[in-house]
Amino acid sequence: MTDANRSALRVHVRGVVQGVGFRPFVYRTARRHGLAGWVRNAPSGVEIYLEGPGDALAAFLDDLRGTPPPAARIVSVQTVPVPPEGAAGFTIDESRRRDSPTARISPDLAVCDACLEELFTPTDRRSRYPYINCTNCGPRHSIILGLPYDRPLTTMKDWEMCADCAREYDDPADRRFHAQPIACPACGPHYCFEADGVVRGRGEAAMTEAAAWLRAGRIIAIKGVGGYHLACDARSAKALRELRERKFRKEKPFALMARDLGCARDLVTLTAEGEALLTSPARPIVLAPARVDLPGVAPDNTDLGVMLPYAPLHYLLYAAGAPEVLVMTSANRSEEPIAYLDGDARERLGGIADAFLAGERPIARRVEDSVVRAGPAGPAILRRSRGYAPGAVAVLPAGRPILAVGADLKNTVTLVVDGAAFTSPHIGDLDHTATFAAFQETIRDLCAMYEVDVARLLVVGDLHPQYASTTYARELPGEHLEVQHHRAHVASVLAEREAWDVPVVGVAFDGTGYGDDGGIWGGEIFTGTLRGGLRRVGHLRPAALPGGDAAARFPVQAAAGFLAQVPNLPDLTRPPFNFPGRYHHALELVAKGVRTFPTTSMGRLFDTAAALVGFTREITFEGQAAIWLEHLARQAPPASSYPFPVEGDELDFRPLLHAVAEDRARGRDAGAIARAFHEAVAAGVARVCLRWGEETGARRVALSGGVFQNALLLTRVGEMLSAHGGLEVWVNQNVPTNDGGISLGQAAVAAVASGEPAGSHV
């Protein structure tokens, strides 16, 4: 070939392209097209040098973009023509480090079919080996110690490969070429089963022993990919009762692991979309309507959260005879962070678990299971963690690094590097000391991983002056910005779509958020654009919140602040209401104006309706009363809406609650009342969106906040807006609509307002 027929390109690929078999894919593709050059990992992605005929280069680029490895996610491919260097052959070069890393770390991936086949092939040298993996599957985020993603920078660094593993690792044609966690029984880590401080089995014997204990109704702490689980037989009432007592988890639903897809179908009703989520490489917990009654798993809840096995360990447990449906819940007490370090796990779980099934490979960072559902507007992420995090969730117009610290409930943090917004896995509620420590650890980990100079950061927190996250943010170096909670909710939706200048009507409904006026907001309507600002144009009619945060735990206490404004109510202390004395005490606080706070919280309005319909006890987990009300409504046939008028800039709850109370007093079915309440809220949302859409010309509606986890409400709002105004509904897709998405919204607002002076707020 003459030089005139030979061209050369430098190619820079960004995205999830490290640790997913991308370099071997490039190697094979280049050789297939007869190209010379090299490929290597770099801090910002993958670098490729190619030379050969122009048509071969074009064909290579088509294959690069069109058929990447299954776990890869290409964000951009940049090509620059360069003079040919006369390369001979194609090679995979060593990784290079020049600048601070901005490569996207792959999430942890479920074991692939090829590895599963080997796992259960008796003649394979990795048969029954719980750490089997290849470039298409296995741990990533949970074992990475630094970038670029190479074995010395993973928790596998202390296991030297045997000759057989080394040969596979060095062979570009092998499925395990540069699979950093590569191991086998001869050279890799192992599992053991331990009870009462005594090791009772190693390797395959450990699986057999653990399965026997599970069949016997015992509780086992199992070390998984991103932390420990507490597992027991989901059909053992005794095991479930003991697990709830030991874990201090009164009623919050447990997640289930089903042996296979057929078993999952027996447990829940799955749509095609739900099955696709359940079997995806992320292997999340999928919420779906229950088909069976498993007492003690999800009290007063018509949904079950089900996942499939995703680690080789899980398949081996089932092969050893474990019960086909296991409770597989985070290993912690109450709302503490999941245990992931071996010493901490033994200390914290010793009084909960009867035994431990633990592996030798260290976990670099805790990663909980993700929770999703197939929603009316597509897949909805309720908790974003294993399988999804820490992938980039958006690309922001930011020229400097931004750290957004999120909210205090369902906390996540977002780090923006070179415009890419990396949102952490779910951290939890920061009012727990251990969770706050995990929050600090996550920030240090993210900044260290991407080698961010903390002094250059724009640090973003919530407007609430008493949030632990805000207080911590203020103590960090760099510039500071504080973003109002509900604007951050709406901004998170817009950031996912890179909609900086698109006019929207934004609706943010949740339980609590600090408002511009110092009040407790939670039922807010905005108009505007992300770049131009979101102006509050409407809200739920203010009510009194007696006792502050305590009202979130007692629906009747929250109800007192709303019902104090509703005249001519029936006697709520008598049947069928039977409100306890706490309600009258709260009414007295409202009447005297003592320890009461103004609120526009839609979450507390749902609690009030739930109390009127029959939920008059203390809740034991966040959102319990509203979830109970939704499940009642979903089981009822369609019903006419109660009145929920718009008066000026307010949604007036008084006629709505009066109608609920009157129907309950007359003996109307509780499910029918709950359904009519949902219809009323949906109609009210649609009414204000249509009004402001017409006034501003906005054709899109952005819905966010924890209340919109309610699938029935979201469905009905979408149907009403489509039928009457043709407005397009946008909801969160990459991050949770609850407070787990706040940090992305904060980062987005900061990105478009980064010219603001330090100490400002928006």
Q: Is the peptide bond before 148 cis (omega within 30 degrees of 0)?
A: yes
Output the CATH code of domain 390-483+739-761. 3.30.420.360
Identical fold between 390-483+739-761 and 539-731: yes
Report residue 666 as tokens.
């007359």
Q: Which fold has domain 3-92?
A: Alpha-Beta Plaits (3.30.70)
If DSSP codes are grouped into helix, strand and coil, which group holds residue 232? strand
Q: Which residues have CB under 8 Å from 20's CB, separation 6+?
A: 69, 71, 72, 106, 109, 135, 136, 140
Say how far apart CA 460 and CA 225 lie, in whole Å.
31
Q: Which residues have CB under 8 Å from 579's CB, separation 6+?
A: 556, 559, 572, 573, 611, 616
Q: With 80 as the cut, is the pLDDT of residue 757 above it?
A: no
DSSP 459: E
With a pLDDT cut of 90, the percent of the chain lying above it is: 86
Positive or negative: CA dihedral 350, 356, 359, 360: positive
Say how far apart CA 719 and CA 686 lie, in whole Å.
9
Report residue 279 as tokens.
């079997």
| End-to-end CA separation in angstroms for the chain | 62
With a pLDDT cut of 70, the percent of the chain lying above it is: 97
Residue 166 — pLDDT band, cuts 50, 70, 90? very high
Average pLDDT over residues 374-393: 92
| Structural domain boundaries in the chain | 3-92, 191-359, 390-483+739-761, 539-731
Residue 693 Cα distances to 36, 73, 506, 666, angstroms: 57, 36, 10, 39
For residues 148 and 155, the answer to whether their CB atoms sit within 8 Å is: no
Q: With 70 as the cut, is the pLDDT of residue 560 above it?
A: yes
pTM for the whole structure: 0.92
Say how far apart CA 121 and CA 127 lie, in whole Å.
6
Q: With 50 as the cut, is the pLDDT of residue 761 above it?
A: no
Average pLDDT over residues 546-558: 94
Chain segment 728-756, per-residue pLDDT in tens: 999 999 999 999 999 999 999 999 987 44
Say how far apart CA 379 and CA 372 lie, in whole Å.
7
For residues 330 and 338, the answer to whether their CB atoms sit within 8 Å is: yes
User: Angle at Cα 30 formed by Cα 25 and Cα 33, nearest 5°?
Assistant: 125
Q: Which fold has domain 191-359?
A: DHBP synthase (3.90.870)
Residue 758 — pLDDT band, cuts 50, 70, 90? very low
Residue 703 Cα distances to 494, 686, 718, 735, angstroms: 10, 11, 10, 13
The region, left, alpha or beta by phi > 0 then psi within -120 to 50, assigned to residue 325 is: beta
pLDDT of residue 760: 43
Neighbours of 448 (CB within 10 A): 12
Higher-scoring residue by pLDDT: 312, 334: 312
Q: Which CATH architecture has domain 539-731?
A: 2-Layer Sandwich (3.30)
Say how far apart CA 255 and CA 12 lie, in whole Å.
41
- Closest by CA to 734, choosing from 405, 392, 442, is 392
